[in-house]
Structure 1
Amino acid sequence: MTLNNKKHFKTWLPWLLIIVALVVGYQLLTSSKVKRKKLERESVQKVRIVKVLPLNQSTVDPLWFTTGIVMPSEMINVSAQVSGVVENIATNAMPGAVLEKGHTLLSLEQTDLQISLQSQQAQLTQAESNYKLELGERQLAKEEISYINDEEKETLEMSLVLREPQFQSVKARLEIARLNVKKAQVALERTKVYMPFNGQIIDKGVGVGSKVSTNTQLFKIVNVEQFLLEVKIPRSFLSLLNFDDPVTLSQENLWGKGVTRQAKIFSVLPELDKRDRQARLLLLIDDPQSLNTSDSPPVYINDFLNVSLTAKPIEDVWTIRSSWLQQDGSIWVVDKNRTLQKRYVDIRFKGRDYIYVDGAFESSDYAVAEKIPVASVGMPVRIKLLDSPAIKKDFPHKKPNQHNDKKGNLAKLTKQQREERKQQRLLLQGIEQQGIVEQGGAEQENADAKAASDSVGKH
């Protein structure tokens, strides 16, 4: 390096050091701003937003939904009471035919039975003649005894003299002959087979000319006046069940949406289910084939139906979702200070989706409607109140506060619905005024944090 170059280097070295120092300082300053912004964002994000629903205390009628398979109340195999050959079958005695009680299904040949009846009647005539002859003999014996003195009478066996054994024997034969005639008459009447009750023919097993006995199945018939439906319910619901209310049956896939029919509770079976120890109910479906009315959909044997059972009213209970209940018997709520709290409850009835409980809830409490991964008592949160459609979806037993007509226009509301709508609007306005539910709340806090960070960077 020459002497001139050394002089130039010494001249520019301080300026070079100053430039490097400025660049390093700028980098340090900008990186500190980024870290401060990140820290501010993290501090803002620490306040968790949770979804909540209002808590309501009211009188409810719990429902229990179950299913069951339809079975007949009576299904029998019709057989003949006497043996013979089928002579005639009613033209309408075919599978699927619905016939009234007493309708003639078929008749058997009567020739043999008529001959048997005539034979028995002849024997009865002979027995009656023998009985009359014996009465005459008995009368003659009495007249002969009247000519004998008393001393001779004492040496005689009067029952033998008066032909008492012969008389009893003839009398018994006469009674047997009468019974035989009656038996032959009954057998002749039984050559006709009748409907035992109002029913429908399921199967037919014979034709004209078939030789049948008392074990031959002629027809298979089911009672169409009533069908049975067996369902299972928890034993805890059995004590709440309202036996006077009708039971609602539905099958949306077959009958259509909203189409139902009713049944009634007939009895509680004395034996629990062996697998799940649930109580078994027997329901009665009147006119299952809708023969007397066209308003109800027909029900068939082996139909799989949905069943809705109503319980007795439970007064002043809180309705919560089953998913809200914790293992320690409490639910998470957000109190008026916007902090998480636990409220312990006493279960009145636990259904599949809803639980009806008693609890020390405050009027400002909101139920947490989601699972929180990390939660602790007193943890500050911000809440997001679910809108009315979500509330109606989660609580279907509550009446909706508004509805739309088919054209999509707002339909006319009842006075009670208008009041509920007004209360909900006031509730939402109050929440917004308190800063509880604001969609732009998080954005506003982020903007404030950014402004604070810029201010710190400037200073």
Structure 2
Amino acid sequence: MRKMPFSTFAGNYWRSAPHVSAIASHWPWHWEKRYKMKLLIAGLALLTAIVFVASGNEPEPVPQALGDTATTGQQVDVHVLRASHQQDVLTVFGQARARWQISLRAETSGRVTQVADAALVGALVQKGDVLAEIENTGQQLDLANRTTALATARRVLAEEEQRARIAQENWDAAGYKGDPDPLVLRLPQLEEARADLNAARLAADRARYVLDQTRIVAPFDGAILKRSVGPGDLLQSGDEVVELYDTQKMDVVLTLTEAEAARLSSPIGNRVRLIATQSGREWQGVVERVGQRIDATNRWIELIVSVKEPNGLLPGQFLRAEVDGRSYEDLIGIPRALIGRDGAVWHVDFDNQLRRMPVIPVFSQGDRSFVAPGSDWPPTLRLTPPSRNFLNGTAVSPVFMSETDTLNLAENGAGQ
């Protein structure tokens, strides 16, 4: 089919204004394809030229000369350390708890007539404070009856004692030989009267005690955790009234691993410094008891610390504890930044040569590890921070650091 010239096509288009589909059916697409092909070839040629020029101008790599990083005579920081008396202080964590926390319950039945403000949750109470009162008419009546019975028993005993005395006098006056029958001297009746008096006395004491229990009082100085009754409630014997804990006697339970427990020579009586993890407030305590078992799951041992003055210490409060451990005469406290990952330190001897010395810490405290000097160690260690380039016998130029620098290294440094 013969192609229509473009000028003819354009003239026909403007004369007839056909639909877009008519334009697509008459467009000379072979012109567009040729134009795109030429552009593609030109672009590839330009890209090839750029790559060629760039690769031709790239400088050749210069090999680095060996031995440029030689450590011979290099300056190193040196920290001077000596052995001294050291006190191991074990840092562990624990939780405070009240030594006594009880549920105070009614010992008699009745209707609650009054609940004191001291029984409200959070209130501090003193020993003997009245927390609630129960209607006590029945208890008063019972005490009155028991008191009457006690008086009667005393009278009966007095009468029997009089009768027994008269019977003994009559027996003696009659001149009978031998021992009289106990009934003649009214001894069984006298013994019965004495037993009745004792029973009446105990019954009266019991009635008085029950009457006293209609007033619920605090058994010790403490704080109210929970209130279970209100005015008008009907209580049965055994019902809970309040729950409270003792504020004057607090314990802290510390959990130690077996390795940590081995650092305590005799834990009983050891002083403990207790610090609140949130507020930083401090208390003093003493190890009072040691748990008599090892936890089967976590392998923990419990230390129970008695707090001397627990003012402000709350049950459940989380604490950091510093427990005095063993004392050592000659240990060297080495900052961990001076101990390599392989567990060794680098000592600069008096010939200014490096000497590698393995160390085994006796204990660690803070950012220091305390080690016992080896038999072949010098009396003074001159340690430098470890480096991967160090070798035994390497000559160095020491720069001695001050004690302040060593202290800062222990506080801020990190082992490599």
1:424 aligns with none
Structure 1 counterpart of 2:251, from 228, 234, 241? 228
Please say if 1:395 is aligned against 2:416: no
- Once the two structures are superposed, the pairs formed by residues 233-312 of structure 1 within 5 Å of their partners are 233=256, 234-239=260-265, 245=271, 247-251=273-277, 254-255=278-279, 259-271=280-292, 273-274=294-295, 275=297, 277=299, 279-288=301-310, 290=311, 298-311=312-325
Q: Deviations over 1:129-150 (max 9, x none)?
A: 4334444544554465466453
State the distance in 2 between where 1:146 and 1:136 align.
Answer: 16
- Cα distance in 1, alignment partners of residues 193 and 251 from structure 2: 57
CA positional deviation for 1:201:
0.9
- Counterparts of residues 75-94 of structure 1 (less than 5 Å): 75-94=101-120
Question: 1:40-55 alignment to 2 at 5 Å?
Answer: 42-47=66-71, 52-55=77-80
* 2:130 aligned with 1:104: yes
Measured after TM superposition, the shift of residue 95 of structure 1 is 1.0
2:56 is matched with none
Letter in 1 for 2:90: W
Mapping of residues 38-187 of structure 1, within 5 Å? 38-39=64-65, 42-47=66-71, 52-59=77-84, 60-135=86-161, 137-138=163-164, 141-142=167-168, 145=171, 148=174, 150=176, 158-187=181-210
**Amino acid aligned to 1:369:** P
Question: Which amino acid is 1:56 matched to?
Answer: L
Q: Deviations over 1:239-294 (max 9, x none)?
A: 2989665514142xx32xxx441322232404364256555332233443x4xxxx
- Gap regions ≥5 residues in structure 1: 1-30, 291-297, 398-459
- In the alignment, the residues of structure 2 paired with residue 248 and residue 187 of structure 1 have an alpha-carbon distance, to the nearest angstrom, of 44
Q: Deviations over 1:409-444 (max 9, x none)?
A: xxxxxxxxxxxxxxxxxxxxxxxxxxxxxxxxxxxx
User: For residue 50 of structure 2, what is the aligned residue in structure 1?
Assistant: none
Q: Which region of structure 1 is more displaced relative to structure 2, 359-368 or 103-112?
A: 359-368
Offset, 1:345: 4.5
The AA in structure 1 aligned to 2:407 is K
Distance 1:213 1:47, change over 3 A: same
Shift of 1:311: 4.5
Aligned length: 344
User: 1:290-310 deviations in whole A, cap 9, x for unaligned?
Assistant: 4xxxxxxx4322122222334
Measure the CA separation in 1 of the matches of 2:117 and 2:155.
47
Paired residues for 1:400-419 under 5 Å: none
Per-residue CA deviations over 1:324-354 (Å, capped at 9, x if unaligned) read 5579874333434454322244644344742
1:53-75 Cα deviation digits (max 9, x unpaired)? 41311434443322211211221
Cα distance change of structure 1 residues 126 and 178 upon mapping to structure 2, 3 Å threshold: same
How many Å separate the matches in 2 of 1:226 and 1:132? 51
Conserved 8 A contact 1:235-1:278: no
SS at match of 1:230: strand
Moved more, 381-390 or 197-206: 381-390
Name the one with the larger strand percent: 2
CA contact (8 A) 2:224 2:245 kept: yes
CA distance in 1, matches of 2:305, 2:170: 78
CA contact (8 A) 1:52 1:368 kept: yes
Instruction: Please give the secondary structure, in 2, of the residue aligned with 1:179.
Output: helix
Q: Amino acid of the residue matched to residue 370 of structure 2?
A: Y
C-alpha distance in structure 2 between counterparts of 1:361 and 1:272, whole Å: 41
Q: Is the 8 A contact 2:270 2:324 kept in 1?
A: no
Residue in 2 that maps onto 1:403:
none
Partner SS, residue 395 of structure 1: helix
Distance in 2, Cα, partners of 1:394 & 1:242: 35
CA distance in 1, matches of 2:170, 2:353: 125
Q: TM-score, normalised by structure 2?
A: 0.69
**TM-score for both structures, normalised by structure 1:** 0.63
- Cα distance in structure 2, aligned partners of 1:351 and 1:100: 43
Q: CA deviation at 1:214?
A: 3.6
Q: 1:205 to 1:327 in 2, by over 3 A?
A: same
Task: Tell me, in whole angstroms, the C-alpha distance in 2 between the residues paired with 1:218 and 1:183.
Answer: 22
Instruction: Calculate the aligned-residue CA RMSD, in Å.
Output: 3.7
Structure 2 residue aligned with 1:369, among 377, 385, 393?
385
Change (3 A) 1:147 1:316: closer
**What code does the residue aligned with 1:367 have?**
L
Alpha-carbon distance between aligned partners in 2 of 1:134 and 1:219, rounded to the nearest angstrom: 50
Percent identity of equivalent pairs: 20
Are the structure 2 counterparts of residues 102 and 165 from structure 1 closer, same or farther at C-alpha, using a change threshold of 3 Å?
same
User: In structure 2, how many angstroms separate the alpha carbons of the residues matched to 1:162 and 1:241?
Assistant: 69
Secondary structure in 2 aligned to 1:283? strand
Describe the shift of the 1:332–1:232 C-alpha distance in structure 2 as closer, same or farther (beyond 3 A).
Answer: farther
Please give the alpha-carbon distance, in whole angstroms, between the structure 1 residues aligned to 2:154 and 2:163: 14
Q: Secondary structure at the match of 1:170?
A: helix
Give matches, 1:273-352, under 5 Å. Answer: 273-274=294-295, 275=297, 277=299, 279-288=301-310, 290=311, 298-311=312-325, 314-322=328-336, 330-345=344-359, 347-351=361-365
* SS class of match (2:146): helix
Q: Is the 8 A contact 1:348 1:356 kept in 2?
A: yes
Structure (1 or 2) with the greater helix fraction: 1
The residue identity in structure 1 corresponding to 2:225 is: I
Segments of 5+ residues of structure 2 without an aligned counterpart are 1-59
